[in-house]
Amino acid sequence: MATHNLLLLPGDGIGPEVMAEVVRLIDWFNAQGIARFETENGLVGGAAYDADKLAITDATMAKADAADAIIFGAVGGPKWDSVPYEHRPEAGLLRLRKDLGLFANLRPAVCYPALADSSSLKREVVEGLDIMIVRELTGGVYFGEPKTITDLGNGQKRAIDTQVYDTYEIERIARVAFDLARKRGNKVTSMEKRNVMKSGVLWNEVVTQVHGREYKDVTLEHQLADSGGMNLVKWPKQFDVIVTDNLFGDMLSDIAAMLTGSLGMLPSASLGEVDAKTGKRKAMYEPVHGSAPDIAGQGKANPLAMIASFGMALRYSLEMGDAADKVDQAIAAVLAKGLRTADIASEGKTVVSTSQMGEALLAELQALYA
């Protein structure tokens, strides 16, 4: 049995609380002999700044580079609002993405039947929803240069952020989207703003070319990103795989999150290029929700997105698809039994703590493996 080496980066706020439930799941898999995991822990974000005055150290980056997968919690909080911009908690996350080449961000939005009434939209609009947003993660306006604030005098300043994309960046993210679509509903919707942005013109052109050369069997459609956001709310089940740039992907995936009932329910995967020699790729898995410092330490956090993120690691990095399926089934089962953390609570359901939800999920997993 292969040994899988995991780096756990709990981070700040509720990060350590939800990570604790993943650790319990890892320990269970080891105890049952289903898998063999070895874990290391590291600091990132505000926790790293408190210890080392850096959002992540070179030593932790070396561990990340060596790991089979990185399991990441959340970073940030008002405690660090005044730290230098380059050392803000989010800088640790951005460095991981950039230095490890994690260019493809996979954000599934799945509405479990038991949570259809938790969405702000009508049940018939979201029930059975299963879409995948593929966000380009290492280019675009978040990383483009120049990125400056200039004092113009007379009380005026000018801020500049630069949207930059090269052909190869668009090609590789398009391929990820098309490959995923072939395993799902065989449809890709590409979203950009070609009507007002030159980067959108190139994005549209390159995605169309990749489709014509390599993926003619997949249905491709194009939508302007603002119209796409409207359609996500109007009728989300028209989509299968959405591929888009860094900025629009950030916004559209958060819209999709609320379709499912709670930001606390959404996992994500950030993937690098496949190594031609080993067949493996750098990868990091994290919940979409933030550090939620207002509820940190209170046992109110929803651990299901963190657990589902670990499930994505099983599927995309560790070749444990059956285990990933069972994790997904266990999540659906605890929800079907009416267990809810505070963020997804509704009338007639049982509100449980972070650890109680983790315990319930393990019980369902145990039954699935019985």
Catalytic residues: 142, 193, 226, 250, 254
Q: What is the dihedral of CA 351, 355, 358, 364, to 10 degrees?
A: -70
Residues 265, 258 contacting (CB under 8 angstroms): no
Peptide bond into 303 cis (omega under 30): no
Estimate the crossing angle of helix 89-99 against helix 58-66, to 10 degrees: 40
Handedness of CA 208, 212, 214, 215 (dihedral sign): positive
DSSP 325-365: HHHHHHHHHHHHTTEE-GGG--TTSEE--HHHHHHHHHHHH
CA atoms of 287 and 302, how far apart (whole Å): 10
Residues 26, 6 contacting (CB under 8 angstroms): yes
Give the chain's length. Answer: 370
CA atoms of 98 and 229, how far apart (whole Å): 27
Q: What is the CA radius of gyration of the chain?
A: 20
DSSP 165-206: --HHHHHHHHHHHHHHHHTTTSEEEEEE-TTT-HHHHHHHHH
Half-sphere exposure of residue 69: CA atoms within 13 angstroms, side-chain side:
24
Handedness of CA 273, 99, 135, 361 (dihedral sign): positive
